[in-house]
Structure 1
Amino acid sequence: MSEIDSLPDNYQALLDSLSSAYLQGQNQTYYAINRQLVETYWQIGRYIVEYEQQGHKRAIYGKALLEALSNDLTLRHGRGFSRSNLTRMRQFYVLYPNCATASHNLTWSHWVELLKIDDDMERNFYLQQSQIEKWSLRELKRQKSSSLFLRLAASKDKKAILALAQKGQLVKKPSDLLRDSYVFEFLKIPEPYHISENNLESLLCDHLQPFLLELGKGFTFVGRQYRITLNNTHYKVDLVFYHRILRCFVLIDLKLGDVEHYDIGQMNMYLGYFAKEENIKGDNPPIGIILSRNKDELLVEYATYNLNSQLFVQKYQLYLPDRESLKKEIELALQEAEGEK
Structure 2
Amino acid sequence: MKKELSRIDQDFTTFVKEIKSKIISSQYEALKAVNKELINLYWDIGKNIVEKQEQFGWGKSIVKNLSDELQKEFVGIKGFSMQNLWNMRQFYLEYRDNEKLQTLSREIGWSHNVAIFHKCKDPLEREFYIKMVIKFGWTYRVLDNHIDNKSYEKYLLNQTNFDNTITEKYKHQAKLAVKDEYNFDFLELNDEHSERELEIGLVNKIREFLTQMGSDFAFLGNQYKLEVDGEEYFIDILLYHRRLKSLIAIELKIGKFKPEYAGKMNFYLSALNDTIKLPDENPSIGIIICKEKARTIVEYALKESNQPIGVATYKLTESLPSDLKGLLPTPSEISQRLESLLETTDNSTLDKETIN
Please indicate, yes or no, whether the TM-score normalized by the shorter chain is above 0.5: yes
Q: Provide, for residues 264-308 of structure 1, a one-character-per-residue CA deviation record: whole Å limited to 9, x for no partner.
A: 443232134345556788988654321123336687688779665
Q: Please tell me the residue identity of whatever aligns with 1:38.
A: I
1:23, 1:207 → 2: CA distance?
35
2:309, 2:109 → 1: CA distance?
39
Structure 2 length normalisation: TM-score? Answer: 0.64
2:179 aligned with 1:179, yes or no? yes
Partner of 1:62: 59
2:104, 2:266 → 1: CA distance?
46
1:19, 1:285 → 2: CA distance?
34
Q: Once the two structures are aligned, what percentage of the paired residues are identical?
A: 25
Residue 104 of structure 1, aligned match among 102, 106, 113: 106
Q: Please tell me the residue identity of whatever aligns with 1:34.
A: N
Partner of 1:140: 143
Residue pair 1:174, 1:310 contacting (<8 A) in 2 also: no
Structure 1 length normalisation: TM-score? Answer: 0.67
Structure 1 residues without counterparts, runs of 5 or longer = 1-7, 157-169, 335-341
Partner of 1:289: 287
Point out the more displaced range, 143-152 or 253-262.
Answer: 253-262
2:69 aligned with 1:72, yes or no? yes
How far 1:141 moved relative to its partner? 0.9
Report the 3-state secondary structure (helix = DSSP H, G, I; strand = E; otherwise coil) of the residue aligned with 1:235.
strand
How far 1:82 moved relative to its partner? 3.0
How far 1:124 moved relative to its partner? 1.9
Residue pair 2:156, 2:329 contacting (<8 A) in 1 also: no
RMSD of aligned Cα (Å): 4.6
Point out the more displaced range, 138-147 or 114-123.
Answer: 114-123
Point out the more displaced range, 73-82 or 275-284.
Answer: 275-284
Residue pair 2:238, 2:247 contacting (<8 A) in 1 also: no
2:276, 2:328 → 1: CA distance?
44
Report the 3-state secondary structure (helix = DSSP H, G, I; strand = E; otherwise coil) of the residue aligned with 1:316.
strand
Partner of 1:49: 50
Residue pair 2:246, 2:282 contacting (<8 A) in 1 also: yes
Q: Relative CO higher for 1 or 2, CA cutoff 8 Å, sep ≥ 6?
A: 2
Partner of 2:81: 82
Report the 3-state secondary structure (helix = DSSP H, G, I; strand = E; otherwise coil) of the residue aligned with 2:250.
strand
Partner of 1:93: 92
User: Which residues in structure 2 correspond to 1:125-204 (within 5 Å)?
Assistant: 125-153=128-156, 171=171, 178-184=178-184, 188-190=186-188, 192=190, 196-203=197-204
2:126, 2:267 → 1: CA distance?
42
2:302, 2:110 → 1: CA distance?
47
Residue pair 1:248, 1:285 contacting (<8 A) in 2 also: yes
Partner of 1:313: 311
Partner of 2:115: 113
How far 1:105 moved relative to its partner? 3.2
Structure 2 residues without counterparts, runs of 5 or longer = 1-7, 160-169, 332-356
Matched positions, count? 302
How far 1:100 moved relative to its partner? 6.4
1:242, 1:109 → 2: CA distance?
26
Report the 3-state secondary structure (helix = DSSP H, G, I; strand = E; otherwise coil) of the residue aligned with 1:314.
strand
How far 1:90 moved relative to its partner? 1.9
Q: Provide, for residues 220-257 of structure 1, a one-character-per-residue CA deviation record: whole Å limited to 9, x for no partner.
A: 65833443212322112221546866x86542212345
Residue pair 1:254, 1:290 contacting (<8 A) in 2 also: yes
Q: Provide, for residues 81-118 of structure 1, a one-character-per-residue CA deviation record: whole Å limited to 9, x for no partner.
A: 23332122122233444696143332211111112132
Q: Please tell me the residue identity of whatever aligns with 1:42.
A: W
Q: Please tell me the residue identity of whatever aligns with 1:180.
A: D
Relative to structure 1, the CA distance from residue 147 to residue 299 in structure 2 (aligned partners, 3 Å threshold; closer, same or farther) is closer
